[in-house]
């Protein structure tokens, strides 16, 4: 699946809402979305949209760890094992992103 790579950024146009922009070429930008309104939820929505590339990378990293672990976390893991796994994923992401998650090992 192809998508517009990040980082995406939010611009606040105060009375005219929020826009989400992505890099395009060496110096350009591409508008990905525009809320058209300046309500609080429009700002939250714009930031959620802007996080899409990071969220995609996060889920692909988790998929990579699970698929390469040889362990079925859904059916055979205990609640404690699942909680430990999820905590490890979150900590790895917070401390180094995609590359850190890919280094995780899942006991199985």
Establish whether the linkage from the previous residue to 7 is cis, with ω within 30° of 0: yes
Quick: pLDDT tens for 25-53.
Answer: 888 899 999 988 777 788 888 999 999 98
pLDDT tens-digit map of 50-95: 999 888 888 887 777 777 666 666 667 788 877 877 787 777 777 7
The position carrying tokens 């105060």 is 14
pLDDT computed for residue 108 by the predictor: 43
Provide the β-strand partners of residue 10: 20
Q: CA 33 to CA 46: how far, in whole Å?
A: 8
pLDDT of residue 99: 62
Task: Of 68, 71, 55, 74, give the one whose Cα is nearest residue 102.
Answer: 68
Listed in sequence order, the residues at least 6 apart from 13 whose beta carbon sits closer than 8 Å to its beta carbon are: 19, 38
| pTM beyond 0.85 | no
List the domain boundaries for the chain. Answer: 9-50, 54-102
Number of CB atoms found within 10 A of residue 94's CB: 9
Return the SS3 of 74: coil
d(C-alpha 53, C-alpha 4), whole Å: 8
Q: What tokens does 50 get?
A: 């802007």
């Amino acid at each position: 699946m192809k998508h517009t790579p990040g980082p995406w950024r939010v611009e606040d146009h105060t009375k005219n809402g929020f826009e989400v922009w992505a890099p395009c070429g060496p110096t350009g930008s591409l508008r990905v979305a525009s809320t058209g309104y300046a309500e609080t939820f429009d700002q939250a929505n714009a930031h959620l949209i802007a996080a899409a590339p990071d969220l995609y990378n996060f889920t692909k990293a988790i998929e990579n760890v699970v698929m390469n672990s040889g362990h079925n976390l859904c059916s055979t893991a205990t609640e404690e094992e699942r909680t430990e796994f999820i905590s490890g994923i979150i900590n790895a992401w917070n401390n180094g992103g995609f590359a850190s998650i890919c280094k995780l090992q899942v006991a199985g």
